[in-house]
């Protein structure tokens, strides 16, 4: 089923201001919005993809008047070539969005490889892929991508992250080295952010036990008892459901009742979460970037 977007949705997803999009519509006829029976304007997936393409080029330095002259194939070729522009992360992030929406592995590989050459691994992952992973969550939440879109891009990103993680040189052991268990709660499958944290923590020289998707809380206690690791990291994107978070916290309080245990949690499920029942073992961070800062205190 085709998604419908308001112009504010396009602004949020592309980074182009609504008044600018309207001006482009009128001056260059770049897109023609559809209308409901009551004459309310709306946009569809085709419009979103085109606006993302245009945003890549404009944010890379191309004039909108030049962009407006490009045909569909020229537009795509220009987007692939846009990776040569340095310092404009929004351009690369929007190009990755296009690759996801169009199931375009070639575009993804082209932009990713150019990012590695121009910015290096650290900057590519922290400034570009880290932000893109958050944007995938936003697109999913807005209904702009389907399950197949997310699975397609997730598998591509996983391949890149695993390859980079395998090549990561771990600093020699030191007294400052810490150990963490990374996991997603039961029925949670959105793994990209966790893999990014895996790379980040390993790069800092920490020991990481990576459990991955859909781990029941009972299994965490077993891992803790056998490894003596007492620091846990997780991302709640869709699970536990909002009304089940308090129950999850209750289990943490009951099963991990020693002061040394720590759970560092983030994710969309916490965006509107307010309660007085957060156990002392739990620290909630608003986003992945905030979560990262807790590991370099």
Q: What is residue 222's predicted lDDT score, i.e. its pLDDT? A: 92
Q: What is the mean pLDDT of residues 195-223?
A: 90
User: Is the peptide bond between 240 and the residue preceding it cis, with omega within 30 degrees of 0?
Assistant: yes
Instruction: Report the percentage of the chain scoring pLDDT > 90.
Output: 21
Using alpha carbons, select from 172, 161, 163, 166 the residue that is nearest to residue 205.
172
Length of the chain: 297
Q: Is the pTM of this model over 0.85?
A: no
Q: Which residues contact 34 (CB under 8 A, 6 or more apart)?
A: 41, 42, 43, 44
3-state secondary structure of 93: helix
Residue 219 token pair: 């299994």
Q: Model confidence over 100-130: pLDDT tens digits?
A: 888 999 999 998 998 898 888 888 888 888 8
CA distance 118 to 114: 6
Residue 181 token pair: 């268990």
Q: Model confidence over 83-104: pLDDT tens digits?
A: 555 456 878 888 898 888 889 9
Choose the most confident range, by mean pLDDT, from 61-70, 218-227, 256-265. Answer: 218-227
Q: What is residue 265's predicted lDDT score, i.e. its pLDDT? A: 93
> DSSP assignment of 241-256, as one string?
-GGGHHHHHHHHHHHS
The DSSP symbol for 126 reads I
Q: What is residue 219's predicted lDDT score, i.e. its pLDDT? A: 93
CA distance 75 to 88: 18
Q: Which helix (H) or strand (E) holds 210?
A: strand 207-215
Q: Which residues contact 148 (CB under 8 A, 6 or more apart)?
A: 103
Paired strand residues for 231: 262
Residue 164 has pLDDT above 90, yes or no: no
């Amino acid at each position: 089923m085709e998604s419908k977007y308001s112009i504010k949705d396009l602004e949020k997803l592309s980074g182009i201001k609504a008044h600018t999009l309207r001006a482009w519509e009128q001056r260059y006829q770049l897109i023609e919005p559809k209308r409901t029976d009551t004459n309310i304007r709306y946009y569809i997936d085709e419009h979103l993809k085109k606006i993302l393409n245009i945003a890549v080029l404009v944010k890379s330095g191309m004039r909108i008047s030049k962009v407006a002259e490009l045909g569909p194939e020229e537009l795509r070729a220009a987007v692939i070539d846009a990776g040569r522009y340095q310092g404009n992360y929004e351009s690369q992030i929007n190009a990755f969005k296009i690759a996801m929406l169009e199931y375009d592995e070639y575009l993804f590989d082209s932009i990713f490889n150019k990012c590695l050459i121009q910015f290096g691994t650290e900057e590519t992952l922290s400034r570009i892929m880290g932000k893109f992973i958050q944007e995938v969550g936003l697109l999913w939440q807005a209904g702009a991508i389907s399950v197949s879109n997310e699975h397609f891009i997730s598998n591509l990103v996983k391949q890149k992250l695993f390859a980079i993680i395998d090549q990561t040189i771990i600093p020699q052991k030191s007294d400052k080295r810490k150990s963490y268990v990374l996991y997603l709660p039961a029925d949670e499958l959105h793994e990209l952010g966790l893999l990014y944290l895996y790379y980040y923590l390993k790069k800092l020289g920490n020991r990481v036990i990576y459990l991955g998707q859909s781990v029941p809380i009972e299994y965490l206690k077993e891992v803790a008892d056998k490894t003596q690791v007492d620091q846990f990291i997780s991302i709640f994107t869709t699970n536990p459901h909002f009304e089940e978070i308090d129950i999850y916290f209750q289990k943490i309080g009951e099963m991990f009742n020693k002061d040394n245990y720590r759970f560092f949690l983030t994710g969309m499920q916490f965006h509107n979460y307010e309660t007085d029942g957060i156990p002392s073992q739990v620290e909630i961070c608003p986003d992945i970037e905030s979560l990262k800062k807790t590991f370099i205190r």
